[in-house]
Each structure stands twice: as structure tokens, then as C-alpha cells.
Structure 1
């Protein structure tokens, strides 16, 4: 096996594939990256749940395959000078040269590296990478980390004639993003659930460009393809929350506010809340005014934020982080907050244009005198 490649390109490929490498595994090959020099140079990382494969432009003189420890290989390439890297392997002995630097390290047998699962094609869809990146980023925060309901440790992808909807829930809040898609193939409508850990990697791989990303649904796996990089993940099985029934839409109170102003007010009051000193935000929705206060062992804090609309003096408690997460993710300058009572959820929507996002935050019970 012999090839030469630009250091920067090789380093980027190692960095991408390393995200799917097991830090510790009973199969030593899974702690490495599989290098395949054929018609092109392919690097693969796989931890038995998520696999990432990327293609690197390289000048291949001799074909071959080999597994190299991801951590050491990554460190060596990262610290090499910015030049052309030449890579030569005989049996398992690898020689890496770049400029005046040279390393000889031991690789392992590629036979021990498990094959990536094949994705039996069922349905597929295409959309710009920037749109997919934004949709994942604006819903991923609400994915559950509670393993007692494994289905909710992922996001629901729902595809129909209207487009793609991504939904995440964790029992206290819900995040929903909707976008029209370029094209889809297969069934009229279909849905699947992707683990949050895999989506976090997809978000990092996606570029901020209109380059296309394709998503292929298989019987047990799902494949994301972004440019020269492919990610395969297992699908989560189970009954996802019937989210449409869970969102109240006949709310009696509607108020509007500037997203940044609301965030700034909540952020200021949250300064006296910490992991050790937890306390809900007490929110009072008055005529054109939102009053936010909280009390902890350190002291108390109060702030006001102008809003449009009459909340009728409704008093409601919220977890400060959950409310901030939703407002930070909202891709709009102005939002509409829909409420009904002090014990029913708050729904956050765009004030104008298409309803392409929806966040729901459940209230926290307020103790008297807090």
C-alpha cells in the first residue's frame, strides 16, 4: 500500500472519521481507522452503532488496506509540517514521511475491522446541507438522555408531501422544525428515528452551503451522505410520542416579543441560579409587559421585558435553561408565546411567515412565597 496526499486533507478526513471510533473496545481494530487505497483513498471509523466513511483525494501508487490506531495516527498527521504526506505500508509496518519528519508505526489486520452495515434501500430524500445542519442544531437540544425511554434519545424524522419535520422530546419540552425538501423517493410518507449521538456528528459534517445532502432510510439503518462523507447509523425502534396530540393549539393567551430581548432578560435573572442553587423563574404576563423574577439562597433577581399583548396577569413558572434553549434555537427575530393557564405548556412559534418551527416548554410548579 503506497499513496501520497496533502496533509490538510488527510488531517480533516482523520478528524471526521475519528468521531465514530471507539475510545475503548473489546475489538482492538475498532479503536482504529480503516484505510483503503483502491481507486480512491477511503477512511472509515465505526463503533458498532455509528460508522463514518470519507473519501480523500490522494495519489495512489499501490493498493491495499490497513487499520491504524486512530489517536496516534491523528496526532502524527496533526503535528506534521504542512506538506505532502507519503504513506507506505509493507505487511503491517507503516512508514509516514512529510518534509523532514518520518515515522514508522505498526498497523493491524484489516480483517478484524467489522464491515459497515448495508442500508437496504426503502426511501430517500435530498435537501441542502445548510438546511439539514440548521434543522438538527435547532432540535437536538431537546433530545432525551434518559435511557428508560430509548426511542426519545433520538429525533423523529417525518417526511410527507409538505416536506421534512424533525421532532425531539425529553418529557419536559419539545422542539420541532419543518422545511420543504428538494426531492424525495419512495413512499408517499415515511418516518424513522435517528439517535441523537449520530445526529450530533451529522451536524458537524454538514457544510454551511447549498451543497446537497441525501438521507436514505433502510430497514434497520439510516445513511446520511454529505459530499465525500457518508454516515451510517442504526435506527431506534419503538413508539415515538404522538407529538401532534401533545401540543395544545387552542391557547387563550397570545403575546409577542423580541427573541433577543426575552433571552437577555431571562439570562440576567438566571445569574443567581446554578446547578447547586436551582430555582424556577416566576413569569408574570401583564399588559405589554413580562415580569421575570427568581429567588435562591444567594438572593433574588427581577427583570422586565416589553411584550405585545395582554397576558391577563398570568403567573407561571419555568426552568430557566429550558426556556433559554428554546429561544436560542428559534430561527426568528420575533416570537409568539401561546399560553392558557399556569399549569399548561407554553408554545413558542414564529410571529410572521411560515410556521417552520415550534417549541413547547412545560411549566414548573411555583411554591407560594418563592
Structure 2
């Protein structure tokens, strides 16, 4: 095998595919990147949970394939001078030249590398990379890390009526985003659950312009953005019936500036820590919300203007959960809805289309809080 490639392109491809390489494995090839050169140059990382493959522009003199340690190959390529990298392999001994630098390292048999799953593509949809990236970043924070309910360690992708809804829940909060999609092939409506660990990588590969195509197979999901694809397994099980979980027609509704409320909560949260956990006590009055907390080192209070009458509703929140929702909300003006001090808070856009919904469960307040 022999090919030449611009260093910057190779560095990017190695960094991308390395994120799907197994950190430790009894099979050495699993800790490596599969390099294949035929009509094109492809690099693949696969840890049996997710696989990432990047196709790189290169001049290929001799076809071939082998596996190289992802860590070592990545470090070598990163520290090479900014020039064309010439890669030659003979019987798994690899020679890498760039400028005046040269390395000889040992590769392994590509037959030991697990085959990337083939996705039968029963249904598919396309949307802009930037749109999917924002949908993931604005919902991923609510994915559960509790393995006792594996289905909720991923996000629900629900496709219907030329739209995509992404939903994440963790038992304490819910995050939902909706957007129109450019194209749907297959069934008019379908759904699947994607592991959160895979979505964090999908967010990274959707870094450019142009469309990303999502294909649903019987057991796997394929994301293709430009010259990079990611394959991951589908999570099986019954996802929360989220429509029934979100309370509607809430009698108490106020509006606020997202950044102003976030800043108030952030200031009060300065005396809250992992060791000194205490809920936020929020009192929604007429035109103002008062936010207080008390921990072992002291207390803090702040106020934030609101529009509307909160009817002096007193409600407690985990500060991090409320801040996560406010940070993620893709709107400057928010509507907060309540039915009581022990019912969930629903956060919606105050104006325009309802393309996001966040729900945060309250924390019961005690007299000392």
C-alpha cells in the first residue's frame, strides 16, 4: 500500500475516527484505526458500539489495507511538519515520511478488525448539519446516565409530517426540539432511539455546511455528513410517552428574558456545591421572581423581572437542572408555565413557533431551605 495526503486532512480524519476507537480491548486491532486505500482513502474506528469512517482526498499509488495504533498514528501525524505525508506499507511494516521526518512502525492484519455494520436503510431523512447539531446540543444534556433504564440513555428521534422531533428525558427533566426536514424517504412516520454517547460524536461530525442524512435500519442507525459517516446501534425498549408527560393549559404563566434569569440563578448558585447542595427557592410574584438559597456557608438572594403575575407561587429547583434548560433554550424571551409548587415547570418560547419545550421537575422545599 502506498499513498500521499496533505497532513492537515490526515490529522482531521485521524482525530475524528479515533473517537470511535476502543480505549482498551483484548483484541489489539480494536485499539487501532483501519486504513484502506483503493480508489479512495478511508479511515475507520469501531468500538462495537459506534463506528466512524472518514474518506480523505489522497493520491493512491498502491492499494492495500492495515490497522495502526490510533494513539501512536495520531501523535505521529500531529507532530509531522505541515507538508504532504507519504505513507508506504510492506508486510505490515509502515513507513511514514513528511518533510525531513520519517517513522517506521508496525501495523496489524486488517482481518482482525471487526466489520462495520451494514445499515439496511429502511427509512431516511435529510436536514442541514447546523440544524441537527443545534437540536442535539439543545437536548443532549437531559439524556439519562442511569443504566437501569437503558432506553433513556439515548434520545428519541421521531419523524412525522415532514418534521423531526428529538426528545431526551432523565426522570428529572425533559428536553424537546422540533424542526422541519428537507427530505424523508420510506415510511411517512417512524422513530428510533440513538445512544447519547453516539449523539455527542454526531454533533462533532456535523461541523460543516451541507446536509446530513440519517438512515434507520433494523438494528443500527447511520449518520452521513459530507465524507464522514457514523454507525451506531439502536436502543431497544419503550421510550417515555412524552406527550402525556408534558402538562398543558397551566394556569400560571409568566415571561422573562432568558439571559437575565440565568444570570440571577448563576449568582445565587455561587454558594451551592457538590458538598453543599441546596435547592433554589423561587417565588414568582407580580412582575418579579425572587430567588434564594441557603447552605452551610451562608445564604444568597437575587431578583429577576418577569412579565405577568406568578400569583406568589413558591417552588424549589435543582439549580443545575434549571440552568441547563435556560442555557439550551434557543430563544431570548421565554414563557414559564406552572400549575402548582409541586408540579413540573414547562419552558417554552414566548414568541413565534413552538420549536422547543423544556420541562423541569421541582424539588420539595423544607422550612430550613
TM-score bracket for the superposition, by shorter chain length: over 0.9
| Corresponding residue for residue 22 of structure 2 | 22
1:171, 1:162 → 2: CA distance?
29
| Corresponding residue for residue 275 of structure 2 | 276
| Corresponding residue for residue 259 of structure 2 | 260
Q: Residue 369 of structure 1: CA displacement?
A: 3.0
- The equivalences for 1:147-158 within 5 A come to 147-158=147-158
1:369, 1:108 → 2: CA distance?
63
- The equivalences for 1:77-156 within 5 A come to 77-156=77-156
2:162, 2:203 → 1: CA distance?
23
1:357, 1:28 → 2: CA distance?
44
Q: Residue 162 of structure 1: CA displacement?
A: 4.5
Conserved 8 A contact 1:8-1:82: yes
2:50, 2:64 → 1: CA distance?
24
Q: Residue 188 of structure 1: CA displacement?
A: 1.2
Structure 2 runs not aligned, ≥5 long: none
2:259, 2:299 → 1: CA distance?
23
Q: How high is the TM-score relative to the length of structure 1?
A: 0.99
SS of 1:317's equivalent in the other structure is strand
SS of 2:174's equivalent in the other structure is strand
Compared CA separation, residues 34 and 236, structure 1 to 2 (3 A): same
SS of 2:336's equivalent in the other structure is strand
Q: Residue 208 of structure 1: CA displacement?
A: 4.8
2:223, 2:248 → 1: CA distance?
33
SS of 2:151's equivalent in the other structure is helix
SS of 1:177's equivalent in the other structure is strand
| Corresponding residue for residue 164 of structure 2 | 164
1:277, 1:28 → 2: CA distance?
45
Q: Residue 340 of structure 1: CA displacement?
A: 1.0
1:66, 1:182 → 2: CA distance?
38
How many corresponding residue pairs?
369
Conserved 8 A contact 1:42-1:53: yes
Q: How high is the TM-score relative to the length of structure 2?
A: 0.99
1:136, 1:236 → 2: CA distance?
17
Q: Residue 3 of structure 1: CA displacement?
A: 0.4
1:161, 1:313 → 2: CA distance?
41
SS of 2:133's equivalent in the other structure is helix
Runs of 4+ in 1 over 3 A off after TM superposition: none
Write the deviation string for residues 257-278 of structure 1: whole angstroms up to 9, x where unpaired.
Answer: 0000000000000000001100
Conserved 8 A contact 2:162-2:184: no
Conserved 8 A contact 1:223-1:232: yes
SS of 1:309's equivalent in the other structure is strand
Conserved 8 A contact 1:291-1:304: yes
| Corresponding residue for residue 184 of structure 2 | 184
| Corresponding residue for residue 7 of structure 2 | 7
- The equivalences for 1:187-198 within 5 A come to 187-198=187-198
Write the deviation string for residues 78-101 of structure 1: whole angstroms up to 9, x where unpaired.
Answer: 000000000000001000000110
SS of 1:225's equivalent in the other structure is strand
Conserved 8 A contact 1:133-1:208: no
| Corresponding residue for residue 339 of structure 2 | 340
Conserved 8 A contact 1:272-1:299: yes
Conserved 8 A contact 2:4-2:84: yes
Conserved 8 A contact 1:172-1:361: yes
| Corresponding residue for residue 214 of structure 1 | 213
1:55 aligns with 2:58: no
1:325 aligns with 2:324: yes
| Corresponding residue for residue 250 of structure 1 | 249
| Corresponding residue for residue 291 of structure 1 | 290
